[in-house]
Amino acid sequence: MQQRTLFEAPPRDGLHLERRARRRGFFHVAGVDEVGRGPLAGPVVAAAVILPERPNLPGVTDSKKLSAPRRQALVESIYGEALSVGIGLADPEEIDRINILQASFQAMVRALSALDPPPDFVLVDGPYTLPLKIPHQGIRQGDAKSLSIGAASIVAKVYRDRLMDKLDELYPQYGFKKHKGYPTRAHREALRRHGPSPVHRLSFKGVREHCNGSALSLDSSPK
């Protein structure tokens, strides 16, 4: 029988992984997740959440499984229950410079750095090792297994959606309010008509393919 590592045990409930960490002596256990790797525009946003031992957060799970109104309702409960919530961003310029994966890691580190109290253990969504000095563990599909990670995914999603709504006011020709920067047909058509905006990710193939070449000026090659 294949053995599981300490933090890869099957989720008995949403706080199973947090309790196991606390039994090892880690008191402030944070969950961290990011949203916005796939869009052609806008930042990648990460959130980190430290929950109390017995939070009252029914319905919290992976943000992708929830409707926008449900996420909006839950995010208020998360802020009310959490010991701390942190937000971190990486903008399109940084994404183009260091690549989307590394930018996602930097956003997560920034979100964790914004927590007060600081965490002494971190549950990370996905099988990743972050550039952190504190102990942490990557959890595959962590946003569905850990309440802390699930809460972080909701906070990050709501925060990024609100940012994209504001960018829609600055660049209404792209329809950011509807698609949040993701590569929908309407978004690709807007790129063909208008070229990229200052908030588009110039290193992304989807941007280069659907805009005028003369509108692009990117010195570095996509990573």
**pLDDT tens digits for range 105-138:** 999 999 999 999 999 999 999 999 999 999 999 9
Q: Which residue has the tokens 């570095």?
A: 220
CA distance linking residue 148 with residue 43, whole number of Å: 22
Residues of the chain with CATH 3.30.420.10: 6-161
Question: Binding site annotation covers 120?
Answer: no
H-helix or E-strand spanning residue 188: helix 185-194
Rounded to 10 deg, the angle between the 147-170 and 16-23 helix axes is 120
* CATH (one of 3.40.50.800, 3.30.420.10, 1.10.390.10, 3.40.50.360) for 6-161: 3.30.420.10
Question: Binding site annotation covers 34?
Answer: yes
Task: Read off the amino acid at residue 82.
Answer: A
Question: Binding site annotation covers 33?
Answer: yes
- 8, 163, 154, 139: which is closest to 81 by C-alpha? 154
**pLDDT tens digits for range 31-65:** 999 999 999 999 999 999 999 999 988 777 667 77
**pLDDT tens digits for range 170-192:** 999 999 999 999 999 999 999 99
pLDDT of residue 73: 86
pTM of the model: 0.87
